[in-house]
Amino acid sequence: MLYVQAVINGLLVGGVYSLMALGLSLIFGVMRVINFAHGDMMVWGMYLSYWLFVRLGVDPYVSILVTGAVVFLLGAVVQQGLVNRILEAPHEMQILLMLGVALTLENLALVIWGPDPRRVNTAYALRTYWLGPIVLDLPRVATFVLALALALALYLFLKRTDLGRMIRAASDNRVGALLVGTDILKVFALAFGIGAACVGAAGSLMSPFLPFSPSTGIFFTVTSFNIVIIGGMGSLLGAFVGGLLVGVSESLGAVILVPSLKELFSFVLLILILLFRPQGLLGGSR
């Protein structure tokens, strides 16, 4: 029964992981850039959410709109100002650049807010529902539902709108998209922005039940990489499914092993994934 509970919890958290990974996958799919600063952008979303909650009493589920927008801007600015200049550069340079961004973001957060862990303690944080013998706590359920909603919104945007189609075209065939007159740099900025917005929103969604500090960033980054590599670099469906999978396995891992070794589990998983399935379970273009 403990295991079923763990699986349920894992699924609920997995929703946010999926959202996080969708953002990363979108960025990679369109620009072939690996966003090393992904987790740190999420942490900024979390800090923003916290600040809005503590200063203005804004519920984190509402502040998604703000965090999403702000991190979108952050992503777009990073793209326009920095990433654009190194699109043709060797991969190592791109990674170092994004690493620089990650370091800057993480330590700026450290300078501003200090190293102590924060958490958004909403009034309803302890509200639980019973589904037979399974406990469901409200924050996790709300997070899951909203994460799913956002993922669906993203999917519809990419499939049904013109902008979305442009983005998909650019990711499938950059030269082709250029030939039909796509303003490719705008598409890139948009894609990076949306990818960042996903992760900023994910931050808001996570903040009610996960304590965070500046150093949490790297953990989210690695988890995102884990998911995206499992699901297939550039595959959005893979990112979605992978997020749920990783959420569940992490949760189970915490139950089977000592909880403090949860991080250890992610890294071991990462190594195994790197060695055995860098193309991902759902294929993908790498």
Partner 1 sequence: MKRRVVLGIAVAAALAVLPFRVPSNWQNLLISTFYYAYLGQAWNILGGYAGQLSLGHAAFFAIGAYTSAVLAIHLGISPWLGMVAGALLAALLSLGIGYLGFRFGLRGFYFILLTLAVAEICRLVALHLPILGGYTGLFINFTPDPWQFQFQGKIPYYFIALGFLGVASGIAWLIQRSKLGTYLVAIREDEDASEALGVDTFRYKMVAYAVSAALTAPGGTFYAYFQFYLQPNTVLNINHSVDIMIRPIVGGSGTILGPVLGSLLLELLGEFSRTYFAAGVAGLNVVIYGILLIVVVLFLPRGVYPTLTHLMRRPAAGRRP
- The smaller minimum CB distance to partner 1, of residues 32 and 58, is found at 32
Instruction: Establish if 26 lies at the interface with partner 1 (CB under 8 A).
Output: no
- In angstroms, the CA 273 to CA 286 distance is 14
Out of 95, 252, 255, 282, the only residue in the binding site for partner 1 (CB under 8 A) is: 95
Q: CA 235 to CA 124: how far, in whole Å?
A: 36
x/- letters, 49..88, toward partner 1 (CB under 8 A): ---------------------------------x--xx--
H-helix or E-strand containing 129?
strand 128-131
CA distance 78 to 82: 5
Given the complex with partner 1, which of 82 and 252 has the nearer CB atom? 82
Report how far residue 264's alpha carbon sits from residue 92's, in angstroms, rounded to the nearest whole number: 26
Contact mark string toward partner 1, 244..263, x via CB under 8 A: ----------------xx-x
From candidates 77, 136, 138, 222, binder to partner 1 by CB under 8 A: 222
Q: If phi over 0 gives left and psi between -120 and 50 gives alpha, with beta otherwise, what is residue 57? A: left
| Count of residues that bind partner 1 according to CB under 8 A | 42
> Taking the CB of residue 260, how many other CB atoms lie within 10 A of it?
8
Query: Toward partner 1, which CB reaches closer, 51 or 155?
Result: 51
264 binds partner 1, rule: CB under 8 A? yes
* Site membership for partner 1, residue 101 (CB under 8 A): yes
| CA separation for the pair 215, 109 (Å, rounded) | 9
Which of these ranges, 7-15, 102-110, 164-172, 200-208, lies near partner 1 under the rule CB under 8 A? Answer: 102-110
Q: Report if residue 116 touches partner 1, rule: CB under 8 A.
A: no
Contacts 24+ apart (CB under 8 A), 104-109: 105/37, 105/40, 105/41, 105/43, 105/44, 105/217, 106/40, 106/43, 106/214, 106/215, 106/217, 106/218, 107/214, 109/40, 109/43, 109/44, 109/47, 109/214, 109/217
Give the interface segment with partner 1, choosing from 9-17, 18-26, 120-128, 213-221 (CB under 8 A): 213-221
Q: Does 102 bind partner 1 (CB under 8 A)?
A: yes
Shorter beta-carbon distance to partner 1: residue 100 or 176: 100
185 in contact with partner 1 (CB under 8 A): no
CA 190 – CA 157 distance, rounded (Å): 12
Q: Judged by CB under 8 A, does residue 220 bind partner 1?
A: no
CA-closest candidate to residue 254, choices 245, 243, 242, 266: 266
Structure token digits, residue 260: 């403090």
Question: Residues interacting with partner 1, by CB under 8 A?
Answer: 34, 82, 85-86, 89, 91-93, 95-97, 99-108, 110-111, 114-115, 214-215, 218, 222, 225, 260-261, 263-264, 267-268, 270-271, 274-276, 278
